[in-house]
Structure 1
């Protein structure tokens, strides 16, 4: 029962984010792209365990798409928004995720990150 409620909460959260998130007008990265790229990571972010290959694939795809400062700032803002809205997220898991997927991002994934300073 808890798993079903958790999945329904995640689906509702993702739908809310897609419907209400600011979309990049001039950039290649949108919150919808961030959400779809990171959805496979939800189980790792809330329960730990091994990182799913589909999660790393999404992270690498998102990293490849975020080639400009506005794109990286948009991705940061969307991830920050998601980290504050996903119930039960383990911030240590979120912080370690890029490294576990072989991606080096120059900022910490955290609710405290100032995305406007991301280059």
Structure 2
């Protein structure tokens, strides 16, 4: 991974950790960013999905057990998408299905996370 991408990833993690809602959720934006970090290159450039990316998505899905967890994950995803303009939204939105993980809302900066159950 080149140094600029590494710095950008750490900056995104820091941003989402600061922006994390202070809810009762056990899931944090740091966890979301960590689980999804292996996906960053794919959702920026396409190509082959790394197995570690799908594993991270599966880990995140398993960790999002409560409504608050799912809302936190959604909000964190929105923040990640908003802070990185190099992300291809079509690739990001199709990734869960390609990894065999159902996500009941679109991966999009305009998703209303408060409506997620």
**TM > 0.5:** yes
Give me the whole-angstrom Cα distance separating, in 2, the residues matched to 1:110 and 1:62: 17
SS at match of 2:5: helix
Indicate yes or no: 2:92 matched with 1:108: no
- Per the alignment, residue 95 of structure 1 pairs with 93
**8 Å contact 1:10–1:86 — kept in the other structure?**
no
Question: Where in structure 2 are there 5+ consecutive unaligned residues?
Answer: none
Q: Could you give the per-residue CA deviations for residues 30-57 of structure 1, whole angstroms, max 9, x where no partner exists?
A: 1111010011110001011111111111
- Per the alignment, residue 4 of structure 2 pairs with 5
Question: Where in structure 1 are there 5+ consecutive unaligned residues?
Answer: none
TM-score by length of 1: 0.89
TM-score by length of 2: 0.91
Give me the whole-angstrom Cα distance separating, in 2, the residues matched to 1:59 and 1:4: 24
**8 Å contact 1:24–1:30 — kept in the other structure?**
no
- Per the alignment, residue 16 of structure 2 pairs with 17
CA RMSD of aligned residues (A): 1.4
